[in-house]
Structure 1
């Protein structure tokens, strides 16, 4: 009986050693694969091959998840995700981990991380030069938006990567707005939520 007890104790010690070593090995692997996705210029992401059809892959992933699973969810983009959960998701995506957004994250977490991505873009999605011209155009039109062609011409002054992402985002937000009876996100609500992230 004593011999069996000693063998068990030795086995437990060996198992404990393995368990203690596993996180160290994982953290080294994660650190080696870590690729910064947030707070990085769109041009840098494109150079690293992390942009497809002019849109960062990480944005496509979040938007497609929300498009498939959250268009009818009330409070979409207005209910904030848990700060710690948002940060954890960010770190996992940047580590290259294969995160199942549907089973491992709730909608507010993904929606909050999308807003954070836009907010963290260096110089914002719409840069200060184009912002100033848009403001001037709005003032000259006396509060009226003026012609769509004028606005389109102004937005085409954006770098290609910014312009592509803005178009992609607007297309998605128009889908959200079409479902405003369910999600309560009218065009005005979406402008209130996304304005500070797009125009910094």
Structure 2
């Protein structure tokens, strides 16, 4: 092998390595956060103001990086995302700021919404929203608001929280390149399953 081939091989190894995270410590306490219904999390006391605590932690981290280009577009390392998920579910003390990169946290937030059983907006409300849209009644925002208020409280609260956060992301679209359309493409399929 020549020197260039050796350097390429070393560079490739660096690119595929996961970010440095502490190895998972097997803990006796394990709480399913991803894939659990919002009602289950609420019963366990893992929801504050209608928003799961794990979502609040990830969003607070991401708020510090709203200007990062590729936010939600560039995926985090799969192993790092899975490791972070396991550590959060094992109730480890995880400092997202120092232990995780933004892409990993953004990927995990997307996964949280993908894993929500039946999505964030249930099928009955989703069907009513589609009907409202097909009727072409764009002037009636109050009707849409009334439809969304039919959601269970915890779903409605999380949807409001998510929309508020995504509005902040979109306000920085000149830096992060995430317009409303881009964000809808990323989160829409997870919110409306």
TM-score between both structures, scaled by the size of structure 1: 0.83
Answer yes or no: is 1:98 the counterpart of 2:98.
no
Q: By percentage of residues, which structure has more helix?
A: 1
Answer yes or no: is 1:194 the counterpart of 2:190.
no
Shift of 1:102: 1.1
Instruction: Find the aligned partners of 2:138 and 2:192 in 1 and give their Cα distance.
Output: 17
Shift of 1:84: 1.0
Shift of 1:145: 3.2
Partner residue, 1:130: 125
Q: Which portions of structure 1, spanning 4 or more consecutive aligned residues, are displaced by more than 6 angstroms?
A: none
- Please give the residue correspondences for 1:27-42 in structure 2 after superposition, counting only pairs within 5 Å: 27=26, 30=27, 32-42=28-38
- Please give the residue correspondences for 1:1-200 in structure 2 after superposition, counting only pairs within 5 Å: 26-27=25-26, 30=27, 32-68=28-64, 70-141=65-136, 145-200=138-193
Instruction: Find the aligned partners of 2:128 and 2:120 in 1 and give their Cα distance.
Output: 15
Cα-Cα RMSD: 1.2
| Long gaps (5+) in structure 1 | 1-22
Largest Rg, 1 or 2:
1
Report the 3-state secondary structure (helix = DSSP H, G, I; strand = E; otherwise coil) of the residue aligned with 1:33: coil
Shift of 1:53: 0.6
Residue-by-residue CA offset, 1:156-190 (whole Å, 9 max, x unaligned): 01010000000000000000011111001111111
Partner residue, 1:15: none
TM-score between both structures, scaled by the size of structure 2: 0.85
| Long gaps (5+) in structure 2 | 1-22
